[in-house]
Amino acid sequence: MTDSRADWPLFEVFLRGKRGLNHVHVGSLHAADPQMALRHARDLYTRRNEGVSIWVVAAADITASSPDEKDPFFAPSGDKVYRHPTFYEIPDDVPHM
Amino acid sequence: MTVTSEPDLKEHFAETIARERRIEPRDWMPDGYRATMIRQIAQHAHSEIIGMQPEGNWITRAPSLRRKAILLAKVQDEAGHGMYLYSAAETLGADRGELTEKLISGRQKYSSIFNYPTLSYADVGVIGWLVDGAAICNQVPLCRSSYGPYGRAMIRICKEESFHQRQGYELLLTMMRGTDAQRAMVQDAVDRFWWPSLMMFGPPDADSPNTAQSMAWGIKRHTNDELRQRFVDMSVPQAEKLGVTLPDPELRWNESRGHYDFGAVNWDEFKAVIAGNGPCNAQRIARRKAAHAEGAWVREAAMAHASKHRPTERANALRPAPCPEQSAYGPHKEEESSKRVSPEASHD
Amino acid sequence: MTDHDNPYDLLAEDHDGGHRWAFGTGFTDPLAGIDTSVPPGVDGAALAGFCLALGDDALIYSHRLQEWLTRMPELEEETAIANIALDLLGQARMLLARAGGILGRTEDQLAFFRAESQFRNVRLAEHADRDFAEVVGRLLIFSSWRLALFHSLPAATDPVLAAIAAKGANELAYHRDYAAQWVIRLGDGTELSHARMQAALDALWPLTPELFLPDASALAHADAGTVGAVLDTVLAAAGLSRPSGATLGPVSGHTGRDGVHTEAMGYILAELQSVARAHPDATW
């Protein structure tokens, strides 16, 4: 089991390029706090390109819905951005892919 | 909301796949699809991170400052690729810390090629040419992966990887036009990396039972043998242009097939390396494990600091927007700047 | 045709094709296209010596950071440290090329074929960091000092050096900020991190007086008071004390700028120069 005292939470990263009209989701990263997340986002997703606007948001703070709510077992609109709980048992390697 | 049965969900999923549309994080997916996707993406991510080691081995000794900068940038890119991929795996509910545990304990793998040592500077060029070349062969089709976040990560990675391959090949061209010692160094590196590069595509199709299901799900777009053949066909003319000999006496153009015939891969070697008995397995994992373990106090300190300085919601709401002239460092800087985001906030 | 919904397209737009991802990797001459004649009224020898000193600082410092790749506490820090190492390497290349233009040497001849006694880096640059606290502590000191040095270049100086300093200053501000944030996190984190951060500063502080030694030949001088004030602000925020006492003494009055280094320098150069020296006539 991982050491939860040391685990950094997940942040989602949104960028708007110099000529873009709005921020677009580009991925995520781990950071201990929002300031660190912003800095890491600059390093990782923009390679310090000037003039790119960055938003970072803790994944836990995002409330989401799907365009296509077909699953009745699925929570109603307004659930977390990733529907699967993080305690899901991750599969081990299987010899041949 | 209408009540939908599981068969309907399966049908919807199948239809999405059939129409070559993307499955996104909040969509329903079969457990097997999800498990396979997590495993494939995670192992791809592990490969990028572990791959930093054999390549990074030559940064401090790079024989020109320009080559040093190129290699340093490449290894930096690899760290980034690993992170994009872990990020994609996390959209499926995996946790990066747990994936790291799986890697360190040997329960998840990484590409077998990185279990070989880099023994000369020419290896840097050969890795760029053959290893990145093989990776690109594998990865370009993955840009059309049925899983959205993975496909998008692959698009970004492929763009950057093509620079890497070009730089590696360029180094080899320079060396092959250089001294006798440089030429010998390149040939030796090719002799050591050619067969392991072919092994990067995995076992032959006949020994790959998951391939059919993976292809049906849009996780895999081509079989191992198809990609391996494509790689050989691309690499032979490149080798000829370099003036190196590929260490396979059976390599020859087959007119009727329209492809190069090549010799048998030593699958015993592949199995041995996958099982942990390659030349560098223990060393690669030990390094990753040490970095992770020795870094725990740092990660913990960062979390402790963050919880001491987390502003309350109410205090947040009452505070005005950040003033750019505020001094950079002060006891409460972190509280003051981690406020609600202004739409116009751009950084530096 | 740029797809404005695809952020990767947008990011690729503003960059020059193959050169975007690492400065200096696209061309052999880092000062390509720039007029490198020494302006009238500027002492060429002094300029070369100064560029060599600053270039060596950056080259050797970058080397130490490169050694930390694959050893960082978290993957995001790998990217950050590689980025800083690359920035400093880029500064080293330009500074060595500037010096080399005057001395009739290439950047590579200077980096790979000078003897240890000809390197002018301060001894702080050579220090091997024993843990992450030393990595960020040393970077805080180095980047604060170097930034002050770049800022203090007189206006009527070599335009090439001025341009290098302007670009370098932006990078150093970023490095200093990265280091400061980490020193604060560690100083004001857990008891263990606080102890380690203080111990790191205690180990590094003796190397700082050398940074402010009088040097008549230098073209710029960082003010000890200004740099000290920046460091004090960070230390206060981190809850750390400014170490006192010991100084790393000179050897017969000589220090790094005179080509007299610590015992670590020999090993650094043995590694750095090994492949180039094994093939002295080769092109890479």
Contacts of B338 (CB under 8 A, 6+ apart): A33, A34, A35, B311
Q: What is the pLDDT of residue C21?
A: 44
Q: Is the pLDDT of residue B341 over 80?
A: no
Whether residue B25 contacts residue A64, with contact meaning beta carbons closer than 8 Å, is answered with no
| CB A16, CB C56: distance < 8 Å | no
Q: Could you tell me which of C85, C52, C55 has the C-alpha nearest to residue C68?
A: C85
Query: Which chain C residues are Cβ-neighbours of B176 within 8 angstroms?
Result: none
pLDDT of residue B73: 93
* Percentage of residues of chain A with pLDDT beyond 70: 58
Q: Chain A residues with CB inside 8 Å of C6's CB?
A: 24
HSE (CB half, 13 Å, CA atoms) of B125? 26
CB of B59 within 8 Å of a chain C CB? The answer is yes
The C-alpha angle B83, B86, B89, rounded to 5 degrees, equals: 155
Q: What is d(CA B110, CA B43) in angstroms, rounded to the nearest whole number?
A: 5
pLDDT score recorded for residue B17: 87
Q: Is B163 on the interface with C (CB under 8 A)?
A: yes
Closest to C155 in 3D by CA, of C53, C39, C54, C33: C39
CB atoms within 10 A of CB C208: 22
Q: Which of B160, B163, B189, B185 is nearest to B175 (CA)?
A: B185
Confidence at residue C129, expressed as pLDDT on a 0 to 100 scale? 98
Domain ranges of chain C: 43-278
pLDDT above 60: residue A82: no
Q: Which of C7, C74, C83 sits opposite A43 (nearest CB)?
A: C83
In angstroms, the CA C28 to CA B174 distance is: 13
Of C10, C79, C181, the CB nearest to A17: C10
In chain B, % of residues over pLDDT 70? 88
Q: How far is C66 from chain B (nearest CA, A)?
A: 7
Predicted local distance difference test score (pLDDT) of residue B346: 36
Facing C25 at nearest CB: one of B69, B160, B298: B69
Pairwise CB contact (< 8 Å): A97 & B210? yes
Phi, psi at B194, each rounded to 5°: -60, -55
pLDDT number for residue A80: 54
Could you say which residues from 140 to 169 on chain C have a Cβ atom under 8 Å away from some Cβ of chain B?
A: none
Q: Who has greater pLDDT, A90 or C157?
A: C157
From chain C residues 75-104, the ones with a CB under 8 A of any chain B CB are 75-76, 78-79, 82-83, 85-86, 89-90, 92-93, 96
Measured between CA atoms, the residue of chain C closest to residue B155 is: C8
Lowest-confidence pick of A81-85, B97-101, B237-241, C275-279 = A81-85
How many whole angstroms separate alpha carbon C94 and alpha carbon C170?
A: 15
**More confident position, C157 or B185:** B185
- Cβ separation C10–A47 shorter than 8 A: no
- Residue B234 tokens read as 């691309």
Chains that touch B (3 or more CB pairs under 8 A): A, C
Q: If you count residue pairs, one on B and one on C, with CB atoms under 8 Å apart, how many are there?
A: 177
Specify the pLDDT at position A94: 38
Low-confidence ranges of chain C (pLDDT < 70): 1-29
B-chain CB neighbours of C232 within 8 Å are none
Mutate to test the interface with B, among C19, C28, C66, C75 (most CBs of B within 10 A): C75
Q: What residues contact residue B210 under an 8 Å CB cut-off, 6+ apart?
A: A94, A96, A97, B36
Q: Where are the beta strands (DSSP E) in chain B?
A: 252-254, 259-261
Take residue B81 and report the two structure tokens written for it. Answer: 């690729």
Q: Which of B61, B76, B308 is nearest residue C79 as measured by Cβ atoms?
A: B76
Q: Show which of residues 82-101 on chain B sit within 8 Å of chain A, judged by CB atoms.
A: 83-84, 87-88, 90-101
Higher pLDDT, B4 or B210: B210
Task: Look up residue B173 and give its amino acid.
Answer: L
Greater model confidence, B5 or C181: C181
A23: closest CA of chain B, how far (Å): 9
Nearest to C146 by CA among C220, C232, C209, C84: C220
pLDDT of residue C155: 81
Instruction: Report the gap between the CA of C121 and the closest CA in chain B (Å).
Output: 17
Q: Hey, are the CB atoms on C193 and B298 less than 8 Å from each other? A: yes
Q: A27–B27: do the CB atoms touch at under 8 Å?
A: no
**Predicted local distance difference test score (pLDDT) of residue B311:** 66
CB neighbourhood size of C169 (10 A): 17
Nearest CB neighbour to C76, from listed A19, A44, A51: A44
Contact: C83, A48; criterion CB under 8 Å: yes
**Residue B229 zone, left/alpha/beta (φ > 0; ψ -120 to 50; rest):** alpha
H or E element at residue B95: none
Write down the residue that tokens 């202004």 correspond to. Answer: B342
Q: Which residues contact B207 (CB under 8 A, 6 or more apart)?
A: A96, B267
**Angle ∠(B84,C137,B50) on CA atoms, nearest 5:** 30
Chain B touched by C13 (CB under 8 Å): no
- Confirm or reject contact between B69 and chain C (CB < 8 A): yes
**Residue C47 contacts residue C160 (beta carbons within 8 Å):** no
Mean pLDDT value of segment A62-74: 64
| Structure ipTM | 0.92
Q: For residue A21, list chain C residues with Cβ-Cβ distance below 8 A.
A: 4
pLDDT at position B316 is 52
For residue C214, the one-letter residue type is: P
**pLDDT at residue B335 greater than cutoff 70:** no
Mean pLDDT of all residues in A43-69 = 80
Q: What does the pLDDT read at residue C119?
A: 98
Which pLDDT value is given to residue B213?
A: 84
Flag whether residue A52 sits within 8 Å of chain C, measured between CB atoms: yes
Q: Tell whether C193 lies on the interface with B, counting CB pairs under 8 A.
A: yes
Nearest CA in chain A to C81: A43
| Six token digits for residue C115 | 């003897």
Q: How far apart are CA A7 and CA B99, in angstroms?
A: 12
The fold of C43-278 is Ferritin (1.20.1260)
Number of other CB atoms surrounding residue B68 within 10 Å: 30
Mean pLDDT across the stretch A89-94? Answer: 50
Q: Are B301 and C107 a contacting pair at CB < 8 A?
A: no
